[in-house]
């Protein structure tokens, strides 16, 4: 039965795919969108319309909450605002300067976060793996990192639900908690075929997917056209981002999404009750009243905003009594190794995410480090490929020669789980930005376990290409993904929020984005961020929060 219905099942509690226009690409419902007055106390004010904020807004709006989302970037129209071009897409990234330091500084910009309705998922690659059950208890199992105050079981139903909403396409998944996907796997391009073949030769299992890209009929969401520009924003609307997967339904249920609004402070009284937020729109300062606030601004901006929102009850920032805000920020080590083959592979075709393996995800006592990594195909476009070639040490005529050879190459990447450390953190720098907010500073230094993990992962990628008979290889070291910074825990001494996402010491401030993650596994984070927001919405709906401030929750069940 399930096979018969493959590709046609729509989610029960989210009509976004049906609400989209069958041929136009802009998001329906903007013209009729509800508008809240500044002095109207909304039930939930969501800061940021990305992976976490988009899902939370949709869920709560559907449950009857009066939801207002403030988003710093534009309300994108994929047809008019995005281009099928690498350099022409710089405007979709978060380009305000962030200062990076530490011994292993992390580059931000195009390899990091986005802005605008849809958040960083506008330009994410589209991989949507689940976390493994082990990710929630790495301290107990492996003696590293920390345990989450929740387990995989708390999220399991939400994984299945969000996978149906994106929808996720892929083969049956054998790793972690084995599961299958609502859409069948996409066809793969020549480059991914090469990688897959090499992995098999080397004794490594790979599977097609999982990607948040419709494969078959799914309401009015178009099918993928295999044009390969996923990291530049999908003009087709085939790739999942909250803009197409949750925003249409949120608008339909009365949410307001106010774009081009940069929140600069959360206003709270000394007792821990937030009253609203101050934000900048068109250079003007405004205040929006709210009964509750969800901070969903990404792992850099969320801690920055909490740190900047100091006040009588919060001299060092909201939720920062235990000096935890901004700490335990994590990136994944993401080395890439390219292999050269006789045939034309033209890796620019098809989505860059195609085939992946989680065979090395868990701790293996025969290796000299704890935890593991995953392996995925990645297919850089020409500028990305040039950075790869340069990083391997080539310039001038040699660089041009490798570049001319572009169509003969395939690229594999690893995602190494790097461990959470307190000194890898966000702080406020001395300079201020155009909004009068202090710039953020992000320091990052790897530990020994991290270095070993990355080195082993890189060697494994080399071995795969060797087994595949690659004629030459080129390597680049990089990072990917950024989570943590407002981590979830059991007390204000070890975390910023509790298992219910509520910021310690406040009544009605929540964090619901990637920053709440205490560990990161070696899975790409977006799906799990959405899933956490989905669970929080369920808790709020059920009023299982033990909150002292009743307003919002009372109204929700009106």
Partner 1 sequence: MTHDFTKAHHLPKRRGGQDQADPYDLPRQRRGKTPQMHGRYPDYDVLEQAGAWDEPTRAVVLARVDDVPEREFFTAAEAATLGAFCDDLLAQHSEPRIPVLAFVDAKHAAGKTEGYRYADMPPDAETWRLVARGLDEAAGGEAGAYADIDSDGRERILDAFSSGDLEGGVWAELDVSRAWSVVTRDALTAFYAHPWAWNEIGFGGPAYPRGYARLGIGMSEAWEGEEAIHPDPVPDVKRKGLE
Contacts with ligand SF4, residue ranges (CB under 6 A): 213, 224-230, 234, 236, 238-239, 351
- Nearest-10 crossing angle of helices 152-165, 526-542: 110
Number of residues near partner 1 (by CB under 8 A): 76
**Residue 70 touches which of partner 1, ligand SF4, ligand FAD, none (CB < 5 to 8 A by kind)?**
ligand FAD
Q: Which is nearer to ligand FAD, 125 or 255 (CB)?
A: 125
Q: Which is nearer to ligand SF4, 42 or 168 (CB)?
A: 168
Of these, 12, 35, 38, 404, which contacts partner 1 (CB under 8 A)? Answer: 404
- Which region among 173-181, 229-237, 453-461, 543-551 touches partner 1 (by CB under 8 A)? 229-237
Q: Tell me which residue of 388, 417, 357, 485 sits closest to 141, measured CA to CA.
A: 417
Close Cβ partners of 398 (under 8 Å, ≥ 6 residues apart): none
| Contact positions with partner 1 (CB under 8 A) in 342-361 | 342-346, 348-350
For residue 527, the minimal CB distance to ligand FAD (Å) is 6
What residues make contact with ligand FAD under the rule CB under 6 A?
47-53, 70-73, 111-116, 119-121, 123-128, 231, 262-263, 296-298, 301, 305, 353, 481, 513-514, 524-527, 529
Which residues, 6 or more positions from 241, have their beta carbon under 8 angstroms from its beta carbon?
Answer: 54, 118, 119, 121, 122, 124, 234
Binding mask 324-343 for partner 1 (x = CB under 8 A): ----------------x-xx
H helix runs in 392-479, sequence order: 396-404, 448-467
Alpha helices in 150-288 (DSSP H): 152-165, 190-201, 242-245, 247-252
Q: Which is nearest to 32 in space by CA: 236, 221, 248?
A: 248
- Does residue number 100 form part of the binding site for partner 1 (CB under 8 A)? yes
Longest dimension (CA), the chain: 70
Task: Give CA–CA dist 250/282, Å, rounded.
Answer: 25
Instruction: Tell which residue, 263, 327, 257, has the closest CA to residue 295.
Output: 263
Judged by DSSP in three states, 519 sits in coil
For residue 404, the partner it binds in ligand SF4, partner 1, ligand FAD, none, with Cβ less than 5 to 8 A by kind, is partner 1
Residue 47 binding target from partner 1, ligand SF4, ligand FAD, none, CB below 5 to 8 Å by type = ligand FAD
**3-class SS at 412?**
strand
Among 17, 49, 155, 381, binds partner 1 (CB under 8 A): 381
Asked if 82 touches partner 1 (CB under 8 A), the answer is yes
Q: How far apart are CA 374 and CA 172, in angstroms?
A: 17
β-strand partners of 427: 441
Q: Of the candidates 285, 472, 477, 493, which one interacts with partner 1 according to CB under 8 A? A: 472
Q: CA-to-CA distance for 502 and 494, rounded, in angstroms?
A: 14
Q: How far is the CB of 240 from ligand SF4 (least distance, A)?
A: 9
- Smallest gap from residue 111 Cβ to ligand FAD (A): 5
Structure tokens at 147: 């345990």
Binder to partner 1 among 139, 140, 445, 471 (CB under 8 A)? 471
């Amino acid at each position: 039965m399930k096979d018969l219905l493959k590709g046609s099942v729509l989610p029960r509690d989210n009509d976004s795919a049906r609400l989209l226009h069958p041929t136009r690409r802009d998001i329906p419902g903007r013209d009729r969108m509800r508008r809240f007055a500044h002095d109207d106390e909304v039930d939930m004010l969501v800061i940021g319309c990305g992976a976490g904020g988009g899902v939370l807004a949709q869920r709560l709006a559907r449950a009857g909450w009066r939801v207002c989302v403030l988003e710093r970037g534009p309300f994108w129209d994929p047809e008019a605002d995005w281009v099928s071009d690498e350099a022409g897409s710089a405007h979709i990234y978060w380009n305000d300067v962030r200062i990076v330091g530490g011994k292993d500084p992390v580059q931000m910009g195009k390899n990091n976060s986005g802005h605008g309705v849809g958040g960083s998922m506008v330009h994410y690659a589209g991989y949507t793996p689940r976390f493994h059950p082990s990710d929630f208890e790495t301290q107990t199992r492996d003696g590293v990192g920390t345990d989450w105050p929740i387990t995989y079981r708390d999220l399991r139903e939400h994984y299945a639900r969000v996978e149906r909403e994106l929808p996720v396409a892929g083969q049956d998944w054998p790793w972690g908690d084995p599961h299958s996907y609502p859409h069948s796997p996409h066809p793969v391009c020549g480059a991914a075929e090469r990688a897959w073949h090499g992995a098999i030769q080397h004794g490594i299992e790979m599977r097609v997917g999982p990607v948040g890209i419709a494969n078959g009929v799914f309401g009015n969401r178009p099918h993928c056209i295999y044009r390969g520009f996923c990291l530049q924003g999908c003009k087709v609307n085939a790739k999942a981002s909250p803009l197409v997967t949750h925003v249409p339904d949120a608008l339909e249920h009365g949410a307001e999404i106010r774009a081009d609004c940069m929140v600069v402070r959360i206003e709270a009284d000394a007792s821990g009750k937030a009253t609203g937020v101050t934000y900048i729109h068109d250079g003007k300062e405004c205040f929006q009243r709210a009964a509750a606030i969800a901070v969903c601004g990404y792992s850099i901006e969320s801690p920055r905003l909490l740190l900047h929102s100091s006040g009588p009850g919060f001299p060092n920032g909201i939720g920062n009594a235990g000096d935890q805000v901004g700490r335990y920020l994590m990136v994944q080590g993401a080395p890439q190794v390219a292999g050269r083959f006789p045939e034309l592979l033209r890796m620019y075709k098809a989505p860059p995410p195609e085939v992946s393996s989680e065979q090395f995800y868990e701790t293996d006592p025969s290796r000299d480090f704890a935890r593991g990594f995953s392996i995925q195909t990645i297919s850089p476009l020409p500028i990305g490929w040039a950075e790869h070639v340069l990083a391997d040490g080539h310039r001038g005529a040699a660089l041009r020669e490798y570049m001319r050879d572009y169509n003969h190459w395939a690229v594999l990447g690893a995602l190494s789980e790097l461990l959470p450390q307190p000194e890898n953190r966000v702080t406020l720098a001395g300079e201020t930005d155009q909004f009068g907010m202090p710039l953020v500073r992000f320091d990052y230094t790897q530990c020994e376990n991290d270095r070993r993990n990355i080195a082993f992962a890189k060697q494994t990628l080399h071995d795969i290409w060797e087994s595949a008979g690659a004629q030459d290889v080129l390597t680049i070291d990089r990072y990917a993904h950024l989570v943590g910074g407002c981590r979830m825990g059991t007390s204000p001494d070890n975390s910023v929020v509790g298992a219910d996402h509520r910021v310690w010491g406040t009544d009605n401030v929540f964090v619901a984005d990637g920053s709440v993650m205490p560990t990161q596994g070696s899975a790409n984070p977006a799906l799990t961020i959405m899933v956490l927001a989905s669970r929080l919405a369920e808790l709020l709906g059920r009023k299982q929060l033990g909150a002292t401030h009743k307003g919002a929750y009372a109204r929700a069940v009106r």
